[in-house]
Amino acid sequence: MKVYFDNNATTPLHPEVKKEMIAAMEMFGNPSSMHAFGREARANVEDARRKVAHFIGANEKEIIFVGSGSEANNTVLSLFVCGSSQCIPGSKMRSSIITTKIEHPCVLETSECLGHRGVRVKYLNVDKYGKIDLDQLAGLLGDDVGLVSVMMANNEIGTIQDIETIAKMVHERGALMHTDAVQAVGKLPVDVRSLGVDFLTMSAHKIYGPKGIGALFVKKGVPYCPLIRGGHQELGRRAGTENTLGILGLGKAVEMRAFEMPEEEERLLELKHILRNGIEERIDDIHFNGHPTDSLASTLNVSFTGVEGEAILLYLDIEGIAVSTGSACASGSLDPSHVLLATGVDAELAHGSIRFSMGRESSREEVDYLLDVLPRIIERIRNMSTAYIKGGLHAASR
């Protein structure tokens, strides 16, 4: 049996998306061209833009197609070091930004880079469930803060932040609000007006669309500076000939999400419940990461004491089950997941964490199969472990 429980990493194409993209393969025109070939491409790109805008409650002109979620996040953060009065009308941008310790590396590393370029970056702590500290945010929100960037749903532990409340706090202090909603759009209802955000990042391949295409929502009237220059595409906000096939795929993906999302969430929540209870019943000495309720229905993150995550991942791979881990060994670095460490779990539990992320194709049979295989794998690794002590959640053998 093949089980794909790594949908937060990427998802398979929705069959309808695939159909749409195959049909569009012949459409090669440049949307910027005035002739019929170009006009055909333009019409389809703008149709997709309407779908995306509609899906998140935005105006079409507020949607910029980009190459990835990472590009969108880089664009938003980088506008901060632009001193041009053309980009930032009126006054110069304020000198500080606030983000969190559990962001995606594309936000964290860009923030670090901005730090080297004179921007002051402040990082919000999270509690044991991965929720940001709103009191800390209130304290840090001074007149120097120009932008706050908080991820809507975390890719590793699934914890969902209260973006609406955060955006209100941010706007009260005159700063701009960005949310990286790559893991949220298409899984949760997202409406940019009710969230009150100025910028929002989304990506196609997390919601059964193609890779290499994302969208950035930029609220009308807020400062903006292109990351990629040299073309009039996307109203001069992102140069480069449009990825027409990708854009079409994204448009179709959100269209399908609008149909499927509501009932799917309930179904996934039920599956997650079965998975969580099943693991709890069958395996001792485990620790669930992430928020018990404010969490993506698709995502369950568990730490197993006394075992290292890469070993679990590879034994599961042999059984046909695909998951991911917060262990350092699987990433090629020496540090375990920064997200788990930020929630306060110790390094050992972070090294022994596994993320199960389900999707629209996940089934009860798959969960049952996993529950059948997993206990044996954990037992097997624990039998050869120097670090497993039965009943000791924090096996300390040093």
Question: Which residues are annotated as catalytic?
Answer: 329
Stretch that binds another protein, among 61-69, 157-165, 361-369, 383-391 (CB under 8 A): 383-391
Torsion of CA 256, 262, 266, 267, to 10 degrees: -20
Does 113 participate in binding another protein (rule CB under 8 A)? no
What single-letter DSSP state applies at residue 80?
G
Which residue, 137 or 316, is less far from another protein as judged by CB? 316
Which residue, 199 or 315, is less far from another protein as judged by CB? 315
Stretch that binds another protein, among 94-102, 127-135, 250-258, 303-311 (CB under 8 A): 303-311
The label of the residue with tokens 């972070």 reads 350
Token digits of residue 175 = 């700063």
Does 388 participate in binding another protein (rule CB under 8 A)? yes
d(CA 348, CA 345): 8
Q: CA 336 from chain center: how many Å? A: 19
Which of 209, 226, 249, 306: binder of another protein (CB under 8 A)? 306
d(CA 139, CA 370): 45
Which residue, 247 or 330, is less far from another protein as judged by CB? 330
Helix (H) or strand (E) holding 107: helix 105-116
Q: Please, what sign has the CA dihedral across residues 151, 153, 154, 155? A: negative
Cα 369 to Cα 110, 276, 374, distances in angstroms: 41, 14, 9
Q: At what angle do helices 364-383 and 244-282 cross, to 10 degrees?
A: 60
Binding mask 343-372 for another protein (x = CB under 8 A): ---xxx--x---------------------
Helix (H) or strand (E) holding 211: none
Which residue, 293 or 386, is less far from another protein as judged by CB? 386
Q: Tell me the closest approach of the beta carbon of residue 25 to another protein, in angstroms.
A: 16
Which of 44, 75, 111, 327: binder of another protein (CB under 8 A)? 327
Which residue, 156 or 348, is less far from another protein as judged by CB? 348
Does 3 participate in binding another protein (rule CB under 8 A)? no
d(CA 24, CA 322): 31
Which residue, 36 or 384, is less far from another protein as judged by CB? 384
Does 22 participate in binding another protein (rule CB under 8 A)? no
Does 336 participate in binding another protein (rule CB under 8 A)? yes
Length, in residues, of the chain: 398
Q: Tell me the closest approach of the beta carbon of residue 170 to another protein, in angstroms.
A: 36
Angle at 359 between CA 3 and CA 382, to 5 degrees: 45
Does 91 participate in binding another protein (rule CB under 8 A)? no
Which residues of this chain interact with another protein, rule CB under 8 A?
306-308, 310-311, 314, 317-318, 327-330, 332, 334, 336, 346-348, 351, 383-388, 395-398
